[in-house]
Amino acid sequence: MNVTNYEILGVGHDASTQQLKVAYHQKLLATHPDKTGDSADDSKVLISAIQEAYRVLSNAQSREKYDEDLKTSFKKQGFNITGAGLDVYTLESFQCSDDEYPVWTRNCPRCSSENSIELKEADLEMGTPDGLGGYQIMVPCLSCSLWITVLYEEEDEEEE
């Protein structure tokens, strides 16, 4: 399992520059071979990771890039670290077949499997109100374990 630079330093994503500096110094002191009794080789690897984490996070530009890369990595794994839990898409972002019984499909944002997320008319009838006048439904990818939330509105049928 990969450890983030934030975890290496033991700080949150919202840590200030001062908090990063304090955590960096504390981690260096705590991992010093004289304090831990570990071999010099083990300590060098850990100290290098701490130094690299601090180098990346203490610079605003490299931290911004690191955070974007981290978000992308988590999204590919099916996690959404914005707090909502599931990625949200609108039905308009799906492609609709022109059949008598339409099927809405889209490629999976994680595994990129083609048309692996699909909705049928019967699925849309099972949606729940989203509190904003529309509906929402959670839908799985048929190729991986990703679930997404789809927002849509009921289409008014016009009489002619």
The predicted-structure confidence for 58-108, as pLDDT tens digits, reads as follows 999 999 999 888 877 766 665 544 445 578 899 999 999 988 889 999 999
Residue at token pair 């679930």: 147
CA distance 148 to 141: 8
Query: In the structure, what pLDDT confidence band is assigned to residue 25 with cuts at 50, 70 and 90?
Result: very high
Average of pLDDT values for 107-113?
A: 89
CA distance 22 to 44: 20
pLDDT of residue 145: 82
Q: Which long-range contacts (CB under 8 A, 24 or more apart) does 15-18 make?
A: 15/57, 17/58
Boundaries of every domain in the chain: 5-69, 79-152
Architecture of domain 5-69: Orthogonal Bundle (1.10)
Average of pLDDT values for 45-50?
A: 86
Residue 2 pLDDT greater than 80, yes or no? no
Question: What DSSP designation does 11 have?
Answer: -
pLDDT, greater one: 21 or 145:
21
CB atoms within 10 A of CB 115: 16
Give per-residue burial for 61-79: e unless 16+ CB within 10 Å, then b: eebeebbeebeeeebeebe
Residue 160 pLDDT greater than 50, yes or no? no
CA distance 52 to 143: 37
What dihedral angle (degrees, nearest 10) is formed by the CA atoms of 22, 24, 27, 31? -140
pLDDT, greater one: 26 or 132:
26
Q: Is 103 exposed, middle or buried (0-12, 13-18, 19+ CB in 10 A)?
A: middle
What value does the mean pLDDT of the chain take? 83
pLDDT of residue 26: 92
pLDDT of residue 1: 46
Least confident of 22-36, 37-51, 90-104, 105-119: 37-51
pLDDT, greater one: 55 or 4:
55
pLDDT of residue 158: 46
What is the share, in percent, of the chain residues with pLDDT greater than 70?
82
